């Protein structure tokens, strides 16, 4: 499956392991959440090599928290592209837990969602087989929106309007005065 | 219910470009229900549906589906209330701004 | 009213360019319908019974004369010469072609209008009180906050693929004219003891299959914390709202299933963990930037001694007097009035307006309302800034175009969804029933005798006509291939919000108007005195007298 990262298609060094498949001795592997939290947990923790986990939309990201320092990749599945739960998951990973590894969108991933994904914290995209790759290169661009993302990176209209919005105001917002 | 009226199935869809209601007929998609091909059995219906699916792929229509019809003096008429309004509606007087004077301008479609 | 800066304009232009690209990819087959549909919906494009339908946003119901003229142009050029105002303060066109819609959107963008997120599983148009900024009982104009929320919710990175649609209403008056309790989130603007602006937050209201009134989960949130708090609510909903069943996917179901207390606990926990000072600082700055757009217009002093209306009223102009009494409301300034434009002439289509009427109102607004018009959630329009000295002129002008029926808040001021004449979801026709009821009760003296009465009808269970919150509601269903109209009684949308109750089995199309008449007669015959309104009478005597009148064996 083509992997889109940093604005272009790259090789994918990761191996996505099905639950029944034995753990290879080396290499970068991605396992399911159930497997990560199951009886193999010590083996996974001790194993040499990079470790990733794949999360279904209903699986609570809170369970991943103790593992995050050990993880280099979290893959968030979109069973259908209209399932918006991974956007919340990605934001929690980046903004609440400070995860700095790769957050990859897998499943039904549409290039039109790229701007939403990037601003939520995704940085890699498994483009479904059969999708037009040229479309990704042409269209995978962020676009300007109003509200800031949680990490202070992408420009946003509000930040551009108010580059220095001033100190936090304990005095609140006074009532609107009218003539 | 008139049991001596012949029943069958037609295929309807919306034209992709402009959304208009169309029916699958011998010569392709038509806005005239009188020209719709009426399938009289399962096999014929499936053949029509296959043709309709082709038209989805070629981006001519969107959302085709079968409609049960009865024969009314040689013209197919839908059985379901909703389908009858889909074909014959909107009803008279449901488009103007107000009842008295000042006709709505009807743009040719 | 709000004016775009370069960035607002660029945002809309980019959006249109993306949608134009999506339409072209769709037409070429590079995007299938399933992949295209959510983007189509989020640009306001439905596939309806006969054609595509375009729902154009009228943010918080505020429209300029220039914008109204553009809507008239679009109605004529791309549609059948009319538009339909909805119960969420938007406008709909029934016949646009998909291939033309990017061009239509560009023409709308030229006058700072758009169709962004008027459909789809995202945050929809933020609605509010149509008298915002001018109501005599206003606490504070809620529209700067509506504009803030409009920007915040547009293309939100996290909340654009929610389990279902999401509707927000904001009220800034002492009385709620925004129906906050029937929204997914309802906000009531308040001031604390130090005069700071904040909100009471209500969640989980909605109509449709399972009508529920919203519950307060927070009595007070300071204004600068509003966005962090709403983020918490939306995040809990986005994560835990049901996605397995379209009919159980609104936030009201989540609140109901968790229980209000547990829902509140989850929101508060999320808010505490996730509140962002940057969002607060930006809110303060952006509200300060937006507020001046909503400063009152430069009202000239138009009170030259005697109220000129008195002159006309005394001159035996009964028609003008009636209109003045019924279709105008008190303004913050005693020398001005709020004018209601009735789009419910007897036998007319509720909420419809021809291009000619739109242009007439646009010109009138420029001359007599500082160029501003409002759209209500009951399918009427408002001229918010009319000097009392101009009221007679305004009335005469409206009357020439059939826009002065003095029926606001009375029986023929009917709210009706488009129904089976237009809507792909409908189970019954609603417009002809509304027309028939309007004609049956056209006599104004009779309507005034009946007194204030809200009748609303929906052509299917989705309740877009808001029948659940009408004094007399009508729900059009289908039974064995024929239309069947159910009557509900006792609903109310404002401060004493209540969901109406079904009276009994439905009536056929040819029976429903008589049934409504019997409901009215029951009330008129048995009310204590003319001051006892229909709603008061119903609350006093209950449903039995009405059941007897409609269903007792003859």
DSSP state of B19: -
Interatomic CA distance for residues C381 and C329, integer angstroms: 13
**Residues C434 and C470 placed together within one structural domain of the fold:** yes
Q: What is the pLDDT of residue C115?
A: 98
- Say which residue, A94 or A131, is predicted with more confidence: A94
Q: What is the span of the domain harbouring residue C484?
A: 415-551
- Asked if C354 lies within 8 A of B102 by C-beta distance, the reply is yes
**pLDDT for residue B98 is more than 50:** no
Lowest mean pLDDT among A108-122, A128-142, C9-23, C403-417: A128-142
Nearest Cα to C57, choosing from C70, C76, C44, C48? C44
Q: Using CB atoms, which chains have 3+ pairs under 8 A with B?
A: C
Q: How many CA atoms lie within 13 A of A96 on its CB side?
A: 19
Query: What pLDDT score was predicted for residue A81?
Result: 95
Backbone angles phi, psi at A89, to 5 degrees: -60, -45
* Cβ proximity of C103 and C139 under 8 Å: no
Separation of CA A137 from chain center: 19
User: Residue B8 contacts by C-beta under 8 Å, 6 or more apart in sequence?
Assistant: B38, B39, B40, B68, B69, B70, B71, B76
Model ipTM value: 0.96
Structure tokens at C407: 């029926």
**Residues of chain C below pLDDT 70:** 302-316, 554
**B93: nearest CB among C29, C426, C435:** C435
pLDDT of residue B4: 52
B99 pLDDT above the threshold of 90: no
Q: Is C408 part of any domain?
A: no
Domain boundary at C89, C110, C131, which? C110
Q: Are chains A and C in contact at 3+ CB pairs closer than 8 Å?
A: yes
Domain count, chain B: 1
Shared domain check, C163 and C43 = no
CA distance A170 to C269: 21
Q: Name the closest residue on chain C to residue B90, using Cα atoms.
A: C421
Judge if C151 and C260 occupy the same domain.
yes
Alpha carbons within 13 angstroms on the beta-carbon side of residue C49 total: 23
Q: How much of chain A, in percent, has pLDDT values that exceed 90?
A: 71
**C-alpha atoms less than 13 angstroms from C-alpha of A126 in its C-beta half-sphere:** 23
CATH of A3-161, one of 3.30.70.100, 3.40.50.261, 1.10.3720.10, 3.20.20.70: 3.20.20.70
Which tokens is A30 given?
A: 């991605």
- Taking the Cβ of residue C311 and every Cβ of chain B, the question of whether any pair is shorter than 8 Å is answered with no
Q: Where are the domains of chain A?
A: 3-161
Q: Is A176 within 8 Å of chain C by CB?
A: yes
Buried b (16+ CB within 10 A) or exposed e, A100-124: ebbbbbbbbbbbbbbbbbbbbbbbb
DSSP string covering C158-188: SSSS-SS-B-EEEE-BSS--S-GGGSSEEEE
Residue C381 sits in the same domain as residue C486: no
| Residue B97 included in any domain | no
Q: What would the pLDDT profile of C308-367 be if each residue is shown by its tens digit?
A: 666 665 555 899 999 999 999 999 999 999 999 999 999 999 999 999 999 999 999 999
Residue C97 sits in the same domain as residue C148 = no
**Domain containing C164 — which CATH number?**
3.30.413.10
Query: Does pLDDT of B103 surpass 80?
Result: no
User: In the 8-state DSSP scheme, what is residue C76?
Assistant: H
pLDDT (tens digit, 9 = 90+) per residue, B48-76?
Answer: 999 999 999 999 999 999 999 999 888 99
Domain that holds residue B17: 7-79
- Does C371 share its domain with C434? no
Alpha carbon distance B11, B26 (integer Å): 12
Q: Which of C293, C323, C353 is the last residue of a domain?
A: C293
Q: Tell me, yes or no, whether C10 and C97 share the same domain.
A: yes
Residue A105 contacts residue A4 (beta carbons within 8 Å)? no
- Give a yes or no: residue B19 inside a domain: yes
pLDDT of residue B67: 97
- Residue A32 phi/psi, 5-degree rounding, is -75, 165
* Best B59, B94, B102, B103 residue to mutate vs chain C (most C CBs within 10 Å): B94
In-domain check, residue B94: no
Confidence of residue B1 (pLDDT cuts 50, 70, 90): very low
Task: Tell which wins on pLDDT, B78 or A25.
Answer: B78
| Model confidence band, residue A154 (pLDDT cutoffs 50, 70, 90) | confident
Residue of chain C with shortest Cα separation from A157: C7
C227·A179 Cβ contact <8 A = no
Find the CATH number of the domain harbouring C379.
3.90.480.20
- For residue B59, being part of any structural domain is answered with yes
pLDDT value of position A129: 81
Note if the bond before B90 is cis, omega within 30 degrees.
yes
Where is the domain boundary, C91, C110, C129?
C110
Give tens-digit pLDDT for A34-89. Answer: 999 999 999 998 888 899 999 999 999 999 999 999 999 999 999 999 999 999 99
Number of independent structural domains in chain C:
4
Q: B32 in a domain, yes or no? A: yes
- Asked if C285 and C180 sit in the same domain, the reply is yes
Task: Judge if C157 and C251 occupy the same domain.
Answer: yes
The CA-to-CA distance between both ends of chain B, in Å, stands at 36
Is residue B102 a part of any domain in this protein? no
In a domain, B2, yes or no: no
Assess contact for C367 and C431: CB atoms under 8 A.
no
Q: Are residues C427 and C392 in the same domain?
A: no
């Amino acid at each position: 499956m083509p992997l889109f990262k940093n604005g272009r298609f790259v090789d994918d060094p990761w191996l996505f392991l099905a639950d029944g498949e034995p753990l290879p001795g080396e290499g970068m592997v991605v396992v399911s959440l159930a497997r990560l939290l199951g009886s193999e947990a010590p083996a996974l923790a001790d194993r040499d090599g990079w470790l990733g986990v794949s999360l279904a939309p209903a699986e609570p990201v809170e369970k991943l928290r103790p593992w995050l320092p050990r993880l280099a990749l979290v893959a968030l599945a979109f069973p259908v592209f209209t399932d918006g739960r991974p956007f919340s998951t990605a934001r929690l990973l980046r903004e609440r837990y400070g995860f700095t590894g790769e957050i990859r969108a897998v499943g039904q991933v549409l290039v039109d969602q790229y701007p939403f994904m990037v601003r939520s914290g995704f940085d890699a995209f498994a483009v479904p087989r059969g999708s037009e790759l040229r479309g990704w290169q042409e269209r995978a661009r962020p676009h300007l929106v109003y509200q800031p993302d949680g990490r202070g990176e992408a420009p946003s209209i509000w930040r551009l309007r108010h580059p220095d919005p001033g100190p936090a105001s304990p005095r609140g917002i006074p009532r609107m005065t009218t003539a | 219910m008139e049991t001596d009226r012949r029943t069958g199935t037609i295929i309807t869809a919306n034209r992709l470009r402009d959304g208009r209601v169309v029916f699958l007929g011998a010569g392709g998609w038509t806005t005239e229900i009188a020209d719709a091909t009426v399938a009289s059995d399962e096999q014929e219906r499936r053949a029509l549906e296959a043709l309709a699916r082709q038209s989805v792929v070629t981006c001519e229509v969107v959302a085709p589906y079968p409609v049960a019809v009865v024969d009314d003096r040689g013209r197919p008429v839908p059985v379901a209330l909703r389908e009858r309004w889909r074909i014959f509606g909107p009803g008279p007087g449901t488009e103007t701004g107000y009842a008295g004077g000042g006709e709505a301008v009807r743009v040719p479609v | 009213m709000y004016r775009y800066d370069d960035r607002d304009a660029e945002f809309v232009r980019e959006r249109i360019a993306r949608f134009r690209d999506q339409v072209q990819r769709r037409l070429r087959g590079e995007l299938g319908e399933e992949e295209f549909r959510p983007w189509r919906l989020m640009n306001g494009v439905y596939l309806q019974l006969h054609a595509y339908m375009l729902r154009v946003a009228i943010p918080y119901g505020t429209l300029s004369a220039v914008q109204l003229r553009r809507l008239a142009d679009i109605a004529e050029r791309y549609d059948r010469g009319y538009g339909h105002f909805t119960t969420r303060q938007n406008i709909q066109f029934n016949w646009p072609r998909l291939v033309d819609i990017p061009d239509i959107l560009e023409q709308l963008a030229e006058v700072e209008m758009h169709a962004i997120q008027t459909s789809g599983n995202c945050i929809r148009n933020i609605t509010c009180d149509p008298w915002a900024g001018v109501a005599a009982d206003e606490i504070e104009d809620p529209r700067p906050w509506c504009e803030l929320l409009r920007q915040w919710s547009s293309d939100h990175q996290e909340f654009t693929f929610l389990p279902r649609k999401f509707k927000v209403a904001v009220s800034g008056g002492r009385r709620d004219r925004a129906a906050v309790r029937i929204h997914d989130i309802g906000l009531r603007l308040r001031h604390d003891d130090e005069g700071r602006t904040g909100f009471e937050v209500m969640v989980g209201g909605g109509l449709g299959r399972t009508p529920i009134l919203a519950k307060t989960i927070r009595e007070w949130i300071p204004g600068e914390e509003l966005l962090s708090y709403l983020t918490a609510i939306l995040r809990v909903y986005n994560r835990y709202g049901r996605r397995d069943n379209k009919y159980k996917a609104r936030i009201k179901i989540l609140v109901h299933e968790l229980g209000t207390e547990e829902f509140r606990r989850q929101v508060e926990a999320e808010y505490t963990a996730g509140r962002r000072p940057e969002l607060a600082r930006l809110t303060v700055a952006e509200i300060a930037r937006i507020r001046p757009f909503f400063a009152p217009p430069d009202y000239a002093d138009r009170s030259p001694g005697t109220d000129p209306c008195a002159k006309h009223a005394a001159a035996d102009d009964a028609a003008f007097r009636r209109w003045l009494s019924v279709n105008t409301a008190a303004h913050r300034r005693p020398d001005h009035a709020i004018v209601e434009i009735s789009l419910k002439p007897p036998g007319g289509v509720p909420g419809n307006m021809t291009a000619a009427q739109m242009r007439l109102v646009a010109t009138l607004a420029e001359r007599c309302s500082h160029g501003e018009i409002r759209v209500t959630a009951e399918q009427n329009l408002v001229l918010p800034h009319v000097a009392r000295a101009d009221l007679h002129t305004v009335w005469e002008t409206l009357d020439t175009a059939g826009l002065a029926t003095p029926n606001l808040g009375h029986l023929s001021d009917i709210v009706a969804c488009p129904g089976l004449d237009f809507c792909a979801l409908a189970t019954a026709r609603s417009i002809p029933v509304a027309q028939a009821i309007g004609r049956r009760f056209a006599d104004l003296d009779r309507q005034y005798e009946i007194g204030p009465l809200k009748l609303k009808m929906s052509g299917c269970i989705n309740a877009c006509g808001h029948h659940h919150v009408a004094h007399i509601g009508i729900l059009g269903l289908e039974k064995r291939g024929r239309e069947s109209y159910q009557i509900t009684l006792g609903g109310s949308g404002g401060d004493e919000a209540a969901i109406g109750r079904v009276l009994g089995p439905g009536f056929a199309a040819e029976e429903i108007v008589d049934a409504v008449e019997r409901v009215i007669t029951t009330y008129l015959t048995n009310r204590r005195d003319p001051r006892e309104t229909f709603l008061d009478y119903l609350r006093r005597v209950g449903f039995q007298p009405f059941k007897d009148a409609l269903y007792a064996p003859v």
